[in-house]
Amino acid sequence: MLQDRFMKAQHIAIIIIVISILILGFNKINSNKKVEDKSPASVVISVDDDGFTPSEITIPVGTTVTFKNIGTVGHWPASDAHPIHTIYPEFDPNIDIEPGAEWSFVFDKVGNWKFHDHSSSSRRGFVNVINTDGSSVVGLAENSTFDSKCLENGTDFSCYEEYYNKLTVEKGITASFDDLKKRYAENAYVRSQCHPLTHVLGNKAVVLYPKVSEAFNHGDSFCWSGYYHGVMEGIVGNIGKDKVIDQLNSICSDIAGKAEYSFGYYNCVHGLGHGLMAISDNELFKSLDICNTLNGEWEKTSCYGGAFMENVIADGKGHVTNFLKPSEPLYPCSAVVDTYKGSCYLMQTSYMLKVTNNNFSKVFALCRTADKGYENICFQSLGRDASGQSLSNAEKTKATCDLGADYNEKSNCIVGAVKDFISYYHSDKEAKNLCSILSLELNKICTNTAVSYYKSF
């Protein structure tokens, strides 16, 4: 039973040619965190060697924000754009804030003001300054510096990220999903990055709906439920590194279906892994350690999956991760202890495809070299990618799984693929179509998997 629950972590997928992450079973964007106040006052943002906490705040115009350096080296918070700080030029101390020191600034302009650490520009955040009557949407829209011309380039993730941040706040979550679905049908890059883009929508939704259940209720499972994972990134970010361990076991308590391990509850717990990676600057092993504070082995395993997935997503979005090696495509799965290996191999084939120029035959061969006892999980992960990269096309998926050397490899590929079909369509109709074109032996395992897996939805 535990194995069945564990394998639920396979089904959330990203259709990414260079990086396709689709979880088998029950799938860094910049971590956006919110502190909200209703009257001009003072807010403290701590900065240390890991970044800003919180990294996103929403405040009334006229609020004083104090940046306090609790780290071991100097830090320099300043307005974008790096390195010239011209978007909000007054928002700039013009010097490092030394350890133990602080610097304060009064935000007297309504708008969405991105900032970074000039001393290490990968550390980022933003201040959403609203009118005293609470009209944050107008403020953000009127003061956005976003230039939609960057969408014409087609392959700039940060451009799409900013676009959907702006659209979600201006017109709402539904409008953003409508726009994304339209672009998905027309744009190959959007299809390849659809899951992380839905993370963006979920992350921004937390600004509008700070309670987990409320944000989930406004969501959409399009592109393998990335929205819900993005929500959890935002929720965990709001809680912050200092408090997250104490609250970790209660964060998903208002999501229905815990007793039966529902799809929604899975997305919440799995999303915790994404959120922990976000607040730790993609420190994989720190995130896994915190996952281990969850009550329940299923919860821990689901959280592991989110952390390992985010490790691969971070690479695809251009963020920095120290836990992938092009020269060792199976790393970190080959290096982690057995506790984590299953969760890791469920994610890793997407990265393996990237570093082999999307050569499924080569990745089948690499899976044969996986740690003993984990080869089949690797083949199932590859089946998920076969489905994901074909947009769950039955004939193309079958052809990819047929690259397996024997029945064992092919059947495990089909198991991963049929689960992904169900995850993609939220229906078993197309999965049954896949099963119908297979050989008698493969049809049997395909059909049995489809029946059992569809019950989880």
The most confident of the ranges 30-39, 66-75, 336-345 is 336-345
Confidence tier at 239 by pLDDT (50, 70, 90): confident
Same domain? 93 vs 241: no
> Over pLDDT 70: what percentage of the chain?
85
- pLDDT at residue 146, rounded to an integer: 62
Same domain? 19 vs 122: no
Parent domain of 348? 2-30+225-454
Same domain? 365 vs 438: yes
Q: Which one of 110, 133, 156 terminates a domain?
A: 133
Same domain? 108 vs 234: no
- pLDDT at residue 319, rounded to an integer: 55
Same domain? 17 vs 46: no
Same domain? 87 vs 229: no
Average pLDDT, rounded, for the chain: 85
- pLDDT at residue 27, rounded to an integer: 36
Better-predicted residue by pLDDT, 450 or 28 = 450
- pLDDT at residue 118, rounded to an integer: 83
pLDDT in tens, 91-135: 999 999 999 999 999 998 888 788 988 877 668 888 988 877 655
Kindly report the number of other CB atoms within 10 A of residue 376's CB atom.
Answer: 18
Same domain? 273 vs 396: yes
The most confident of the ranges 59-63, 107-111, 331-335 is 331-335
Q: Which one of 133, 155, 187 terminates a domain?
A: 133
For the chain, what is the domain count? 2
CB neighbour list of residue 149: distance below 8 Å, 6 or more residues apart: none
- pLDDT at residue 6, rounded to an integer: 34
- Structure token pair of residue 36: 């909200």
Same domain? 111 vs 248: no
- CA dist 375 and 377 (Å) reads 5
> Quick one: CA torsion of 265, 268, 269, 275, rounded to 10 degrees?
180
Same domain? 21 vs 96: no
pLDDT in tens, 278-299: 888 789 999 999 999 999 999 9
Same domain? 274 vs 419: yes
- pLDDT at residue 315, rounded to an integer: 66
pLDDT in tens, 67-88: 999 999 999 999 876 666 767 8
- Structure token pair of residue 81: 């754009």
Confidence tier at 226 by pLDDT (50, 70, 90): very high
Q: Residue length, the chain?
A: 457
Q: Which one of 133, 158, 180 terminates a domain?
A: 133
Confidence tier at 42 by pLDDT (50, 70, 90): confident
Same domain? 274 vs 129: no
pTM of the model: 0.71
- CA dist 353 and 45 (Å) reads 40
Domain for residue 154, yes or no?
no
- pLDDT at residue 371, rounded to an integer: 97
Is the omega angle on the peptide bond into residue 54 within 30 degrees of 0, that is, cis?
A: yes
- pLDDT at residue 3, rounded to an integer: 37
What's the helix, strand, coil split of the chain in %, to 5? 50, 10, 35
Mean pLDDT of 191-214: 89
- CA dist 135 and 120 (Å) reads 33
Helix axes 157-171, 136-143, angle to 10 degrees: 140
- pLDDT at residue 324, rounded to an integer: 95
pLDDT in tens, 380-430: 999 999 998 898 899 999 999 999 999 999 999 999 999 999 988 889 999
